[in-house]
Amino acid sequence: MNPRRGPCFHLQEARLRSDERTEDIQVLFYYHGAFRAERRTDTCGEPLAPRRTAGGHRIPDERPPGPASPLRQDDARCAAPPGSAEKTAQEKPAPARRSNEDLRKVVAAIGSHLVAQIQSGDDPLDLPTDYRRYTTSPLSVAHGASGIALFLKRTRGEVPGVFLDALAWKASRSGDERHAPGLYMGSSGIAWTLLELGLRREAEALMDSAARSPILFEIADMFHGAAGWGLANLFFFTQLGDERYLRNAVDAFDQIQPRLQRGRGGGFHEDTAAAYHGLAHGPAGVGYFLLRLYRVTGHAEHLEVARALLDHDLASPGGEAHASVARRRSAADERAPCTSWRSGSAGVGAVALRFHAALGEERYLEAARKIARQIERGIPSSPANFSGMAGIGNFLVDLHRRTGEEGYMEEARGLADRVMRFALKRPPGLAFPGEDLARVSADYGAGSAGTGMFIHRVIAGGGLPYFDL
């Protein structure tokens, strides 16, 4: 594509991984034909959105009216001791507990706002989302159209025709090897969405394209890499019964296994010369994929490696199961722990619960309970799904589903009430700010769709999208 002719979305996050996972992240941003490299990080090393491109073009910035938005504090827990995070000064007083009917109205209002935005512009896919959409794919699960589409399907029963048609059309022209193949940022996640929306032909074509990607096995993790692609193949196998998808999943294991090393309490993998913790980028997520693979194949090796990977993330330096996992850092990092679903203890707990459900071993349930007891010392103040309250709330919903104990659901409802402090009235419904609390975001990873999906699970239950098969 000629860079003078407009935006380019062919920058795979896999190509940026070496810079993305360093303490001083370099964000490579391409917008309206102008590259810009800038160093902008929060206290955990997560990139903040640049405000302008090198050519002077403003990045869309929809801010709530009134006083300035609260400073981002969702990752302050990574730089300070547990329990030291203060409440954001601008937060509203906590409302009374909302009933199921109240929460249903909230979910409906989120959907109404999204549908109104879809129908109001020239491009139904051009919704306000996290800035990372512009450096990856506009269709991705995390920050693009796919996660929004699946939220609408699961909560409203249908996706607006104009949105579905645009998604299918764009996806049919996205299936080349320049695009990242991963689950949350790439083609296999988009394909998962299309299959769940009933577009089998388009979904299978995109999965075939992902399998041909030259960067398919460069990263092992769940978020960008081979484990996420393998999980998507298992989803296709369970839905369609086609053996080629099972072969693809086994191939993913064969590519991951030689890269594993023995570490504290279990196994770990290295991407970009470092070993990371957690569900999205660390051993726990890879272990979950291998658990799901074992459930299909029955091969002892798959289970053995799965156990070792989760055990690594459940092992503290002292050898005891711990309740917090350092966020996207090397095993040697000794900063205060994080609690997020993406890279912290909530995600590891979610994996432990699924190990307990599959294997019946009490140690996994006890590990998840311990995480739940200690996680309140690091609740983030962002409402976001991947790195904020909604993700932690999903873990508590999972605990309730596994144990039947109402206390966990009460805690999840409490988080739903706290999330609602950030709700913004946007006729005809509600919207939420993204991770940095600076602009409205519609997406699944950082914005309204992910936050709304958590609230929907509080009242309706059900599995976690792009995770439970």
239-284: per-residue pLDDT in tens?
999 999 999 999 999 999 998 987 665 556 555 556 688 999 999 9
**Is 11's pLDDT higher than 50?**
no
CA distance 8 to 35: 10
User: Which candidate, 30, 27, 28, places its Cα nearest to that of 1?
Assistant: 30
Q: What are the tens digits of pLDDT across the range 333-380?
A: 555 568 999 999 999 999 999 999 999 999 999 999 999 998 988 899
Look at residue 81 and give its three-state secondary structure.
coil
pLDDT of residue 130: 83
Q: Which of helix, strand or coil describes residue 455? A: helix
Judged by average pLDDT, the poorest of 21-35, 316-330, 395-409, 428-442 is 21-35
Looking at residue 89, its pLDDT comes to 33
**pLDDT for res 413:** 97
CA distance 341 to 107: 21
Give DSSP secondary structure letters for 92-161.
Answer: PPPPPPPPHHHHHHHHHHHHHHHHHHHHHSSSTT-----GGGGGS-TT-TTTSHHHHHHHHHHHHS---H
User: Residue range 181-208: average pLDDT?
Assistant: 97
Task: Pick the more confident residue, 30 or 441.
Answer: 441
Q: Are 341 and 396 contacting, i.e. CB atoms less than 8 angstroms apart?
A: no
20-46: per-residue pLDDT in tens? 333 222 222 222 222 223 223 333 334
Residue 42's pLDDT is what? 35
* % residues pLDDT > 90 (the chain): 64
Return the pLDDT at 399. Answer: 99
Question: Exposure string (b/e) for 107-138, b if CB count within 10 Å is 16 or more?
Answer: bbbbbbbbbebbeeeeebbebbbbbbbbbbbb
Flag whether 35 is in a domain: yes
Pairing of strands 34-39, 260-263: unpaired
What is the token pair recorded at 18?
Answer: 């070496």
Q: Is the pLDDT of residue 423 over 60?
A: yes
What value does the mean pLDDT take over residues 136-160? 96
More confident of the two residues 333 and 463? 463
Comparing CA positions, the residue from 120, 114, 182, 180 lying closest to residue 150 is 114
Render pLDDT for 152-169 as a digit per residue (tens, 0 to 9): 999 999 999 999 999 999
Pick the range with the lowest mean pLDDT from 221-225, 327-331, 352-356, 451-455.
Answer: 327-331
User: Could you tell me which of 395, 422, 404, 412 has the C-alpha nearest to residue 455?
Assistant: 412
Q: What is the pLDDT of residue 53?
A: 33
For the chain, the straight-line distance linking the first and the last C-alpha, in angstroms and rounded, comes to 37
Judge residue 383's burial from the number of C-beta atoms within 10 Å of its C-beta, 0-12 exposed, 13-18 middle, 19 or more buried.
Answer: buried
Q: Which of 8-17, 82-91, 195-204 has the highest mean pLDDT?
A: 195-204
Q: Which of 370, 376, 337 is nearest to 353 (CA)?
A: 370
Element (H, E) at 458: helix 448-460
In a domain, 50, yes or no: yes
Instruction: Print the domain residue range for 43.
Output: 1-59
Average pLDDT, rounded, for the chain: 79
Check pLDDT > 60 for residue 313: yes
What is the arithmetic mean of pLDDT over 309-314? 94
pLDDT classification of 96: cutoffs 50, 70, 90:
low
Structural domains in the chain (count)? 1
Contact 372, 352 (CB under 8 A): no
- Stretch among 42-56, 182-196, 270-284, 427-441 having the lowest mean pLDDT: 42-56
Specify if 209 maps to a domain. Answer: no
pLDDT of residue 212: 94
Banded pLDDT at 176 (limits 50, 70, 90): low
Cα–Cα separations (whole angstroms), residue 113 to 62, 290, 312? 14, 38, 42
Query: 213 — phi, psi (to 5°)?
Result: -65, 135
- Provide the 3-class DSSP secondary structure of residue 431: strand
More confident residue, 63 or 173: 173
The per-residue pLDDT for 276 is 81
- Does any domain span residue 54? yes
**Whole-prediction pTM value?**
0.79
Nearest-CA neighbor of 309 among 354, 339, 279, 346? 279
Q: What are the angstrom distances between the C-alpha of 329 and each of 39, 154, 356?
A: 18, 34, 27
Q: Confirm whether 1 is domain-assigned.
A: yes
Residue 361 lies in a domain: no
Give the lowest-confidence range in 315-329, 373-387, 408-422, 432-446: 315-329
Q: Name the residue among 192, 203, 186, 83 with its Cα closest to residue 144.
A: 186
The predicted pLDDT at position 33 comes to: 27
Q: What is the pLDDT of residue 64?
A: 36
Q: Say if residue 444's pLDDT is above 80.
A: yes
Residue 37 lies in a domain: yes
Residue 214 lies in a domain: no
Q: Please give the Cα distance from 83 to 64 (Å, whole number).
A: 29
What are the pLDDT digits (tens) for 41-94? 333 334 333 333 333 433 333 333 333 332 233 333 333 344 433 343 344 555
Question: What is the predicted pLDDT for the residue at 178?
Answer: 62
